[in-house]
Amino acid sequence: MTPAASIESGANRFELLVQSVADYAIYMLDPTGVVVSWNTGAQRFKGYTQDEIIGQHFSRFYTSEDRAAEIPAYALRTAQHEGRFEAEGWRVRKDGTRFWANVVIDPIREASGELIGFAKVTRDLTERRANEEALRSSEERFRLLVQSVTDYAIYMLDIDGHVASWNAGAERFKGYLADEIIGRHFSDFYGEEDRAAGLPARALEQARTQGRFEAEGWRVRKDGTRFWASVVIDPVHDPLGELIGFAKITRDLTERRQSQIALEQAQQAFFQSQKMESLGQLTGGVAHDFNNLLAAIVGSLDLARRKMAEGADISRFIDNAMKAAERGATLTQRMLAFARKQELKLETVDPAALVRGMAELLQRTIGGGVRIDTQFPLMLKRVHADPAQLELALLNLAVNARDAMPDGGRIVIAAREEHVLTGEGLKPGDYVCLSVTDSGGGMDADTLARATEPFYTTKGIGKGTGLGLSMVHGFAEQCGGRLVLDSRLDEGTTADIWLPVSDDAIKLCPDEASGDAPGPDQLVVLAVDDDALVLINTAAMLEDAGHRVLQAQSGQAALQLLGEHRVDLLVTDYAMPEMTGAQLAQAAQAGWPALPVLLVSGYAELPEGIAADFTRLAKPFRQDQLLPAVEQAVAARRPSAAVLEFSRRKRR
């Protein structure tokens, strides 16, 4: 092939290459801008065929505004003198529609340098521009959205925590203009104590490592005032996953917090008001009942004193005073039962035998017109309870059942064994459930919810104190069980007393525990009580039994008497000022290890360990209760001969 033929073949191949390109418009212009060649891409973009466009000036592809501004001529001059022209702009198709084009114009010269025309390459970027415009529009809308939010501070931080953007909400909350805060560290919004504790750095670290930080706390405004803020910090990553900063959203919750505090204060005031109202009901009820009892006691004793001076029989007045006092003790037990502070004597109790034993009492108390039935299994486990309090609880429930059936009806006292795994307000284990069911009118939901409140009663004035169910409730919980009430209007009520099954451990009574040892006789007893009236009565009971009694009204006075006299037994009240009975007993036994102690108290909740260390006696007590307790205390503390001899020598 000749060189000329080779050149011609290469030119043909180049022309074929250009003609086959469909994504770019590639064509030639003469030095004046007239189109002299046209490829497939140009036809596709601009809609002209070769025959339609070759020989036409390329300015027809420009908008009328660009032609008026002589942009086509400027493009050719720039390409000619600077060697290249590149720009983006609107171009016009044959049908008059417009497209966004990237245009490159290069000059074409002979080897001698003479300009013979221009090469023009155009690319249709309409779709890309539309996407960019959509993105810009979206970003602008988002920017306007963020900037328009005034209830939230929304801003960006760089990776070190410096403020990179600022919206209107941030300006409103924190008081800084954008020019004042952008570039400063966000720790400026924290109080000095939080900065010293490193809270800002920990917040960014948690957001970086855990993907989010959220908290509430005090933040500081530009003017130094504080506001309560809810803060969320999220990490911001680029498309490659690299951390480029943080998005921080803050909301001012000061008003909500103040409202919450005000609500809590109002609730506390309301609860305090409720407590005062309950205390008023409690005080009023107790005062009313005790005034009646005191009236009977004072009146009876006054009459007894007058009749005694006349030599008349005063036994009926003394009996009347005793009955009133015992009623007062019962009322106190009910109060303490509600407070879970009554002295209970827990032991193994056969519930079936207990109910059989009180059958006559129940029927006599309930009266005619109401039938009492029992439903007990043939074999029923024993329970751990105070038998006297359990009788009182069942009696209270039976009386309530009777009062719920003014026209007569049926009361069923039943029992069943249950095993509790979890829940139900009970520890896991075996229980006996004693139930008292009536066929009365029942209670609505509101009445049922308040049934165990102290002094709450639906009975008429003078027909109930409202302490019955509260006493049963307290008693059951002290035994390790619970009271459950189930009632529906017009269907009756069932009261369940859940009591733990006893392990049947047999506790020896004081006489059995003492074995064959002789009981105490003519003891020297130190009686201690800060109440002079109680002290006189205690001493009188002991002296009446043949004991010699030393009296003290404080712990210090008692210790002094112990150092001066030989004492066989210390009987002390627990609740005393300056030195409690337990402290006195511990101090006494530190100096006289063999000294027996009888601790007297009306409360069950004593410091841990004291119940095991000392024999105890509940207030109020009679002589027939005091003397067995004295014997039990002496028997429980009976020392060995060597210890006794050492103790006596020390007393001398």
C-beta neighbour count of 614 within 10 angstroms? 25
**Domain-embedded: residue 134:** no
Percent of the chain with pLDDT over 70: 78
**Domain-embedded: residue 133:** no
Question: Are residues 493 and 574 both part of a single domain?
Answer: no
Residue with tokens 């609500």: 263
Q: Exposed, middle or buried: residue 290 (CB in 10 Å: 0-12, 13-18, 19+)?
A: middle
**Domain-embedded: residue 506:** no
The secondary structure element, H or E, covering residue 156 is strand 152-157
Question: Are residues 355 and 487 both part of a single domain?
Answer: yes
Domain stop point among 225, 252, 279: 252
- The pLDDT mean for the chain works out to 80
Phi, psi of 183 (to 5 degrees): 100, -20
At 232-289, the pLDDT tens digits run 999 999 888 899 999 998 888 887 777 777 777 777 766 666 655 655 555 555 665 6
The secondary structure element, H or E, covering residue 100 is strand 98-109
d(CA 354, CA 116): 129
Domain stop point among 479, 500, 521: 500
Question: Are residues 493 and 637 both part of a single domain?
Answer: no
Q: What is the pLDDT of residue 407?
A: 84
29 touches 80 (CB < 8 A): no
**Domain-embedded: residue 103:** yes
CATH number at residue 197: 3.30.450.20
Domain count for the chain, please give it: 5
**Domain-embedded: residue 144:** no
Q: Which two tokens stand for residue 316?
A: 């009926």
Q: What is the pLDDT of residue 642?
A: 39
Question: Are residues 117 and 153 both part of a single domain?
Answer: no
Beta bridge partners of 486: 494
pTM above 0.95, yes or no: no
DSSP 425-448: TS-SEEEEEEEEEE-S----HHHH
25 touches 33 (CB < 8 A): no
At 13-53, the pLDDT tens digits run 545 556 656 678 889 999 999 999 998 888 888 899 989 99
At 200-232, the pLDDT tens digits run 999 999 999 999 999 998 999 989 898 898 899
- Do the strands 569-573 and 615-618 form a parallel or antiparallel pair, or are they unpaired? unpaired
Question: Are residues 245 and 284 both part of a single domain?
Answer: no
**Domain-embedded: residue 142:** no
| Residue ranges making up the domain that contains 324 | 266-338
Q: What is the pLDDT of residue 140?
A: 67
First to last CA, the chain: 148
Q: What is the pLDDT of residue 477?
A: 85
**Domain-embedded: residue 258:** no
User: In this model, does residue 474 exceed pLDDT 70?
Assistant: yes
At 134-150, the pLDDT tens digits run 777 766 666 666 666 67
User: In this model, does residue 416 exceed pLDDT 90?
Assistant: yes
Question: Are residues 353 and 494 both part of a single domain?
Answer: yes
CATH number at residue 615: 3.40.50.2300
User: In this model, does residue 304 exceed pLDDT 60?
Assistant: yes
At 493-540, the pLDDT tens digits run 999 999 999 876 334 334 433 444 344 568 999 999 988 878 888 888
User: In this model, does residue 375 exceed pLDDT 80?
Assistant: yes
Domain stop point among 500, 534, 553: 500
At 613-639, the pLDDT tens digits run 688 888 778 888 899 999 988 887 665
Q: What is the pLDDT of residue 10?
A: 45
Question: Are residues 119 and 205 both part of a single domain?
Answer: no
Question: Are residues 324 and 293 both part of a single domain?
Answer: yes
Determine what percent of the chain falls in helix, strand and coil, rounding each to the nearest 5: 45, 25, 30
**Domain-embedded: residue 551:** yes
Question: Are residues 77 and 162 both part of a single domain?
Answer: no
d(CA 273, CA 162): 52
pLDDT, average across residues 570-575: 90
Question: Are residues 192 and 113 both part of a single domain?
Answer: no
Question: Are residues 274 and 231 both part of a single domain?
Answer: no
pLDDT, average across residues 181-208: 91
Question: Are residues 455 and 537 both part of a single domain?
Answer: no
